[in-house]
Amino acid sequence: MAQHSLRSIARKLRRAPSTISREVRRNGGTKHYRAAASDGQAWDRAQRPKLCKLVGNDYLCRTISAKLHRKWSPQQIAGWLMREHPDEEAKRVSHETIYRSLFVQTRGVLKKELQAHLRATRSIRRSRHATLKRSGLGKFNDAVSIRERPADVEDRAVPGHWEGDLIAGSGNSFIATLVERHTRFVMLAKVSNKDSHSVIQALIKQARKLPKDLYQSLTWDRGTEMAGHKAFTLATDIDVFLCEPHSPWQRGTNENTNRLLRQYFPKGTDLSIHSQAKLSAVARQLNERPRKTLGYETPAERFNACVASIR
């Protein structure tokens, strides 16, 4: 109408001339272009051409809901579905689709309440320097350093090598956590206190539940609770290796496991209220969750295969 050139319009709108040219050409050219009609057509073109994959798929909705209730992550669910249905595309879905179905409520596919079963995420990232300020780190003259640990432990090629630690709760309450490096199989032990005698006795009790070939070594942080590590070795014939001071990352498998366990045992809660039966049930649920690092096998499947191979 005003007879402005496309380049002058582009300058006023602070857009590239090619952008203005495409917009006008797409919507009838300079003679027939109308802003209102063009805007409506743009909204029509922008609509998603297909529905979310979960819409109308009762199998996927039921399966995903059941797995979320068991505290599987969307990535674990997607990997498990891929493994279970490699040739049935209708029974597989990406973890991004699951997340979008949970958080984009306009889709209305998965109930919002299922968000409560997702693993809690931190609002801030704690500096590594914070780990250097922990108190109660022991100095043991008789400690066997992690640097002396055999090479076959380091590369996870052989089962039977464990990492352990304590997770803390309110009121001076603790749970001993153990994870096998090769299979990521988890065991939890109720401890009455953080003193060395209580922790060592709990660890001895757990160790006696396993075949000797599947419990050959234990790597632990250099905390005061391991002051009696020699008594543990004497009772079980299991070698104990201690991390270097301020180096929890040297038992990273256990650190990662402890983060997973916080979904069940949040920080600041009283851990003493949980019975050993409850701890074993949590460990079983965690061991039945597929792991990406295991090709979406579960730790239980991988560990049971190891048990069968030594019989």
Is this prediction's pTM over 0.85? no
Give the β-pairing of 239-242 and 217-220: parallel
CB 221 within 8 A of CB 195: no
Distance CA 205, CA 182 (A): 22
CA dihedral 153, 159, 165, 167 (to 10 degrees): 140
SS3 annotation, 110-178: CCHHHHHHCCCCCCCCCCHHHHHHCCCECCCCCCCEHHHCCHHHHCCCCCCEEEEEEEEECCCEEEEEE
List the pLDDT tens digit at each of the 311 positions of the chain. 577 888 888 888 888 888 888 888 888 888 888 887 887 777 666 655 556 777 778 898 889 889 988 888 888 999 999 999 999 988 998 888 888 777 654 445 566 566 666 664 443 334 444 444 444 445 566 778 888 887 778 888 889 999 999 999 999 999 999 999 999 999 999 999 999 999 999 999 999 999 989 999 999 988 889 999 999 999 999 999 998 877 778 888 999 999 999 999 999 999 999 999 999 999 999 999 999 999 999 999 999 999 998 87
Q: Side by side, which strands form the sheet with 239-242?
A: 186-191, 173-180, 161-169, 217-220, 239-242
What backbone torsions phi and psi does residue 101 show, to the nearest 5 degrees?
Answer: -70, -25
Q: Dihedral of CA 209/234/168/241: which sign?
A: negative
Structure tokens at 66: 């059941």
Cβ–Cβ under 8 Å, residues 62 and 81: no
